[in-house]
Every structure is written in C-alpha cells, then in structure tokens.
C-alpha cells in the first residue's frame, strides 16, 4: 500500500486541439430550492462540449484533480 | 477602563439596558445596538438558543503598541520597555506578538546548498527564532534552522533539499505571529501578568499589541446567570425550526476590530459563512466554540479582505460542507498573521482550511480528520512569492488530499503526521520531521458506550442533541436497542446508532487504560 504520497505539478497550460470521441449522458437533477420547492431538470450532457459551461477556475481545479489521478495511475501509486 | 459587564438571555427584555442579570436584554442584536464604540465590554450570554442574526455594530478600543516586550518560556510575566501600561492596558485585554522579526534589509546570496545564510543589519534575530517560518518577499518562505547572531540566520527548505538561492538585497521579511494571551493583571507601566504562561521561546525587545475588546461570552457553566441545572451550551442557530436553515449567517460584520467570541455552539446556516467577518475585520478572536450543520458549500468562518491578527483558538468544526476557516482577498495580501490552533475538524465534504491570496497564516496543533476536499489545508489561489501558510504539529488523517498549494513553498509544513490520505501533499515539500504515524485516537469513549452501566454513560460525538429533528422521528423496522444497548426512549427509536436520552451527562465515571499487573 502506498503511503507518503506527494504530488507536484506546474505549468498548467493549454495544448493543441485534438479530436476525441464525444460522451453523452442523460442527466436528471432533482433538488429543493431555498423556498423549499422541489425542482427538476433533465437534459443531455455532452462531453467535452459542455465543459464550456463550467467557470474557468472550477474547470482548472477539477481537471487538475483528474490529471493527478491519471498521474497516480501512470506512476503506479494506484492500480 | 475596566470591562463593562452586560447581560443578555432568555427571561430578559430588549427594553432593559442589559446592565445586570436581572436587567438583561433578550436578543443579541438589541444588546449589540446598545453598545458604544471603542469601549471595553464583556457581554455575558445566557444558556439557551438564539435564533437570530447578530450584525456587529461597534469595534473595540484601539490597540496600544508603544515600546517593546520581553517574554520568557513558561512565565506569565511580560516585561515592557518604553511602555505605559497602567493607562493603556487592562485586565482581560489581549496581548499578542504579531511579528517576531521583520525588516526591509535582508540579504541572500546565490549559492547552491541545503542551507543558506540570511542576514539583516537591523539585527532582529534571537535564538528563539529557530523553527519558525521566515517569509522573504519575492524570494520564498523557509524554515529558520539556526541563529548565528542578531544579524545572521541559517534558513532551509522544509525537506532540507539542496537548492540555488536567489540572490537579493533590501529584502522585506517577516516572522510570526505568536498566540494571543489574555492579560490577568497590569502590575505596573512595565509589567503585565498573563492568564497563561508564555508558551513560545524566550524573546526580548519584541514589538507587540495589547488591546481591549468587545467580547461575547457564552455562559456555558451557568455560573454567571446562576443557572443551577448545570452546564449547557449557548447556541446561535441559523434555523427557526431545526429542520431547514433560514439565515445565511449567525454573526456577520464588516470593518470591525477588536472583537472576541467565546463559548458558542453555532449551527445550521444556509451559506455565506456562519461567521462572516468581511471587509478587513481585524483583531477578531473566536475561541472555544463549535460549528456544525452547514447547509451549503460555504465557510463556517470567513475572514475577507486585508485584516490582520485574526485568530481561531480551540474550536471544533464538524459536518461541514466546505471550509472550516477561509481567509480570502481579491488581491494578494502579505503577513496578515492569521492563526488557527488547537482546533479539531472532522466530517467534512470538502476543504477544511482554505486560503485565497492571503499570506502569513499559521495552522498548528490541529486535528483534521475525514474530508473529501482536494486540499484540506489549501492555497486555492496563489500567494505573493515569499508568503506561506505554515502547518506544524497537526494530525492530517483520512483526507482526500491533506495539503495542497498552487506551487511549492506556499505551504511550509513540518512536524505533522499524515495517515490514510489519498494524497498527502500536492505542490508541498515534505517536512523533514513529519511522520506517517497513525493517530491512534483513544477509543475508550466507544467502549464506554458499548459496555458501561447506564449511570456511567456519557455523551459521544454521535449522540443527537435534544433539538435534533431526528429524535423520535419515525423510521422503518428500527433496531430494538441502540449501540449502548439502550431500549427505545420516547415515541420512536431514533435514526442513527444512539438513542436520545435526556438524562445523559457529558461526564461518566473515570476509567484509564490498563497498564500492567
């Protein structure tokens, strides 16, 4: 079991555009709003197109987490 | 100049002036509205539940910082030089050393080594500085490993790695803060006695602040108000029915200074920070309080702006969504001297301690346990180069990511244990003295639950409060007895592992570990 796991990253930057296969999924979100009313929305989420809807700082944080998970797998920390 | 006592609580009336227990006010806000600015107050708050938002209206008196002080490890006596404390300090004031050393004439040389010499002709350095972080603007943050003289120290990276130091002259640097201490007595113009012994190393000739304040004190023991049934928390909640949150905050303030809150159970707000200290509040101290039930991804306590000397001392945070404590500003700000110490934080969805562009925060002797946050001490947005968050003597266990900075050097960690985390450090150098020891928390409380007689039972962190809406809430096919073996009490078996029992106290019998025959 891996312990003392430390990760360093730097130079977060954009690369050239590549073509990847789209992923689509039907998503229904149900929630209760501040006035206690039930809300629901259903739509098709398209990846990566809908990433454009995510604020840049949130996108960077989430993509960094994803890339760290990739790095851990490539490095053999996670199997 | 003594502290004016004020009283607020159930049985009172907002038509009263709050000057005695009998003439107590009913609501916190009415009490606040009756306070004068720049005046020392102790507002005693009676046991009970306050379902209101308290908006702070006044600041305390301006701090006194003339002269310098000398302090000795283990001593309550503070000696002043050039001080006039009889006219400017008072019993119950706070005394704090914010800056242990600073200057604008630091010099570094371009040398590759594991340790480097840093000099300052101003002559600020003393033996006691060893182990502190030094923040050197535009260069970096390092640990002071040796003091050769008043003008020369040795500095190193937390992991003792070799590196090429950036050469510089005229460098601005800063070391600190240390803890605030309550003043027990002002003995003379040059002597103050602290309520607790100075716990940091011995120093002479330090700059300091002593400040009077407006403090709200929860009368947990019931002694102030003569509540005879015993200890009970003083609760401020953002909910009106304990089922849904109504208010964004329990306490909010903008540009207020010299305020203290001690002894409150704060809970259940909709978001926007349970304690919201906005627009550069300064010299705010929150201590011995609990925080739970944040209904949205917001901080339990937020300090926004460029305020300095804000401290969180001995608080417990749980069932949080995001951020027990947040320091944030729209632009980088340096050396604010924020302090989080002796806090326990557990059961969080996301980040526990978060920093957005605010340099000079110290986190020490805290337990951070159980969070999915991508960095549970996190620098979310870059600090100015040379600024850092210092983390020492902490238990960092079972966290998605324990420490997370945007670049190496923004978090200076050493003497911490890391256990069971998904990632221990991101962009953070490993402290040479840090460990991967398991915390091994004491489970005797659990055995007390499972095996002790009813009379010896005590409250655990997972017992429901009397006001929990899960008490006597009908479930489906409940267990007949709870974790204690307690059969149903009241109309329904509670949800969760423990049956609510109003007879339970917070202390049981005393049992220690078996050592040997």
For residue range B424-469, list pLDDT tens digits in order: 999 999 999 999 999 999 998 899 889 988 888 888 999 999 999 9
Q: Report the pLDDT value the prediction gives residue B97, as an integer from 0 to 100.
A: 98
Mean pLDDT rounded to a whole number for chain A: 88
Model confidence pLDDT, tens digit, residues B21-45: 999 999 999 999 999 999 999 999 9
List the single residue in B270, B421, B423 with the smallest CB-CB distance to A68. B423
Q: What confidence tier does B230 reach under pLDDT thresholds 50, 70, 90? A: confident
- Same domain, residue pair B26 and B134: no
Cβ separation of A6 and B423 shorter than 8 Å? yes
Give the mean model confidence (pLDDT) for residues A17-25.
Answer: 93
Whether B428 contacts chain A with CB within 8 A: yes
- Same domain, residue pair B198 and B324: no
- Name the residue range of residue B303's domain: 12-60+212-426
Whether A68 contacts chain B with CB within 8 A: yes
- Same domain, residue pair B29 and B127: no
Is B32 within the bounds of a domain?
yes
Mean pLDDT rounded to a whole number for chain B: 95
CA distances, B435 to each of B114, B138, B413, B425 (Å): 21, 30, 11, 13
- Show the beta-strand stretches assigned E in B244-333: 251-254, 257-262, 265-269, 275-278, 282-287, 290-294, 301-304, 311-313, 316-320, 325-333
- Same domain, residue pair B255 and B202: no
- Same domain, residue pair B38 and B119: no
Is B477 within the bounds of a domain?
no
Q: What confidence tier does A76 reach under pLDDT thresholds 50, 70, 90? A: confident
Is B454 within the bounds of a domain?
no
Is B469 within the bounds of a domain?
no
Picking from B375, B417, B424, B429 by the largest number of A CB atoms within 10 A of its own CB, the best residue to mutate is B424
Q: Which of A25-34, B52-61, B189-198, B255-264 has the lowest mean pLDDT?
A: A25-34
Residues of B in Cβ contact (< 8 Å) with A4? 418, 424, 430, 436
- Same domain, residue pair B414 and B354: yes
Residue B145 has pLDDT above 80, yes or no: yes
Among B426, B443, B473, the domain boundary falls at B426
Give the mean model confidence (pLDDT) for residues B188-207.
Answer: 98
Q: Report the pLDDT value the prediction gives residue B510, as an integer from 0 to 100.
A: 54
Q: What confidence tier does B309 reach under pLDDT thresholds 50, 70, 90? A: very high
State the Cα–Cα distance between residues B354 and B372, nearest whole angstrom: 14
- CATH code of residue B112: 2.40.30.20
Is B447 within the bounds of a domain?
no
Nearest-CA residue of chain B relative to A32?
B244
- Same domain, residue pair B410 and B335: yes
Residues of A in Cβ contact (< 8 Å) with B427? 7-10
Give the mean model confidence (pLDDT) for residues B3-9.
Answer: 98
Is B430 in a helix, a strand, or coil? coil
Q: Report the pLDDT value the prediction gives residue B516, as an integer from 0 to 100.
A: 66
Residue B509 has pLDDT above 80, yes or no: no
The structure's pTM equals 0.94
- Same domain, residue pair B198 and B218: no
State the Cα–Cα distance between residues B135 and B174, nearest whole angstrom: 5
- Same domain, residue pair B226 and B364: yes
Give the mean model confidence (pLDDT) for residues B142-148.
Answer: 98
CA distances, B423 to each of A62, B95, B320, B321 (Å): 15, 38, 20, 20
Is B127 within the bounds of a domain?
yes
Among B426, B452, B473, the domain boundary falls at B426
Q: How many domains does chain B have?
A: 3
Q: Report the pLDDT value the prediction gives residue B282, as an integer from 0 to 100.
A: 97
Is B381 within the bounds of a domain?
yes
Cβ separation of A6 and B421 shorter than 8 Å? no
**Shortest Cα–Cα distance, A3 to chain B (Å):** 8
Is B5 within the bounds of a domain?
no
Give the mean model confidence (pLDDT) for residues B108-135.
Answer: 96
Cβ separation of B407 and A10 shorter than 8 Å? yes
What proportion of chain B, given as a percentage, has pLDDT over 70? 98
List the single residue in B270, B408, B421 with the smallest CB-CB distance to A34. B270
Q: Report the pLDDT value the prediction gives residue B291, as an integer from 0 to 100.
A: 98
Give the mean model confidence (pLDDT) for residues A43-72.
Answer: 89
- Same domain, residue pair B320 and B418: yes
List the single residue in B374, B381, B424 with the smallest CB-CB distance to A6. B424
Whether A3 contacts chain B with CB within 8 A: yes
**Shortest Cα–Cα distance, A44 to chain B (Å):** 26
> Count of residues for chain B?
517
**Shortest Cα–Cα distance, A57 to chain B (Å):** 9
- Same domain, residue pair B413 and B319: yes
- CATH code of residue B404: 2.160.20.10
- Same domain, residue pair B85 and B168: no
Tell me the two tokens of residue B30.
Answer: 């009415």
Q: Are B257 and B282 in contact (CB under 8 A)?
A: yes
Whether A38 contacts chain B with CB within 8 A: no
How many contacts (CB atoms, under 8 Å) link A and B?
A: 38
Model confidence pLDDT, tens digit, residues B252-291: 999 999 999 999 999 999 988 999 999 999 999 999 999 9
Whether B416 contacts chain A with CB within 8 A: no
Among B426, B459, B491, the domain boundary falls at B426
Longest dimension (CA), chain A: 48
* Complex confidence, ipTM: 0.80
Q: What is the DSSP letter of B227?
A: -
The string of DSSP codes covering A11-52 is: ------------EEEEEEEEEE-TTS-EEEEEEEEEETGGGG
Residue B511 has pLDDT above 80, yes or no: no
């Amino acid at each position: 079991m891996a312990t003392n796991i430390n990760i360093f990253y730097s130079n977060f930057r954009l690369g050239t555009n590549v073509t990847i296969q789209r992923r689509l999924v039907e998503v229904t979100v149900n929630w209760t709003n501040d006035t206690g009313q039930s809300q629901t929305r259903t739509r098709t989420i398209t990846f990566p197109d809908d990433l454009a809807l995510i604020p840049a700082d949130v996108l960077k944080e989430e993509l960094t987490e994803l890339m760290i998970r990739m790095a851990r797998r490539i490095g053999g920390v996670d199997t | 100049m003594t502290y004016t006592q004020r009283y607020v609580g159930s049985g009172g009336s907002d038509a009263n002036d709050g000057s005695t227990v009998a003439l107590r006010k009913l609501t916190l806000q009415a009490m606040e509205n009756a306070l004068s600015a720049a005046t020392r107050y102790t507002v005693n708050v009676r046991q009970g539940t306050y379902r209101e938002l308290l908006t702070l209206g006044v600041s305390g008196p301006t701090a006194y910082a003339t002269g310098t002080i000398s302090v000795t490890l283990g001593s309550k006596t503070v000696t002043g030089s050039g001080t006039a404390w009889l006219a400017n300090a008072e019993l119950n004031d706070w005394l704090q050393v914010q800056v242990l050393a600073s200057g604008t004439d630091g010099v570094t040389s371009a040398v590759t080594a594991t340790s480097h010499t840093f000099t300052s002709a101003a002559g600020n350095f003393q033996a006691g500085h060893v182990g502190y972080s030094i923040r050197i603007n535009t260069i970096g943050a390092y640990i002071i490993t040796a003091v050769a003289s008043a003008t020369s120290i040795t500095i190193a990276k937390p992991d003792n790695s070799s590196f090429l130091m950036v050469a510089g002259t005229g460098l601005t640097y800063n070391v600190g803060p240390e803890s605030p201490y309550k003043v027990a007595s002002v003995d003379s113009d040059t002597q103050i006695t602290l309520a607790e012994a100075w716990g940091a190393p011995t120093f002479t000739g330090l700059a300091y602040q002593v400040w009077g304040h407006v403090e709200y004190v929860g009368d947990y023991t019931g002694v102030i108000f003569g509540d005879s049934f015993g200890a009970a928390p003083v609760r401020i909640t953002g909910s009106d029915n304990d089922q849904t949150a109504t208010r964004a905050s329990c306490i909010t303030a903008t540009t207020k200074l010299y305020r203290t809150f001690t002894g409150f159970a704060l809970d259940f707000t909709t978001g926007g920070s349970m304690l919201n200290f906005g627009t550069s509040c300064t010299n705010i101290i929150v201590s011995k309080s609990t925080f739970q039930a944040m209904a949205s991804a917001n901080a339990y306590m937020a300090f926004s702006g460029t305020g300095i000397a804000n401290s969180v001392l001995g608080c417990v945070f749980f069932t949080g969504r995001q951020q027990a404590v947040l320091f944030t500003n729209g632009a980088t700000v340096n050396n604010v001297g924020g302090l989080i110490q002796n806090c326990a934080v557990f059961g969080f969805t996301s980040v526990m301690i978060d920093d957005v562009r605010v340099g000079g925060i110290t986190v020490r002797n805290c337990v951070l346990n159980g969070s999915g946050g991508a960095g549970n001490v996190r620098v979310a947005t870059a600090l100015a180069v040379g600024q850092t968050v210092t983390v020492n003597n902490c238990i960092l266990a079972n966290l998605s990511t324990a420490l997370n900075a945007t670049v190496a050097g923004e978090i200076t960690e050493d003497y911490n244990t890391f256990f069971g985390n998904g990632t221990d450090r991101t962009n953070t150098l490993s402290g040479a003295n840090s460990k991967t020891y398991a915390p091994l928390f004491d489970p005797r409380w659990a055995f007390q639950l499972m095996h002790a007689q009813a009379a010896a039972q005590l409250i655990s962190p997972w017992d429901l409060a009397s006001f929990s809406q899960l008490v006597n809430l009908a479930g489906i096919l409940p267990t007949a007895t709870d974790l204690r073996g307690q059969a149903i009490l009241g109309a329904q078996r509670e949800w969760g592992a423990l049956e609510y029992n109003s007879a339970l106290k917070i202390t049981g019998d005393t049992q220690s570990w078996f050592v040997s025959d």
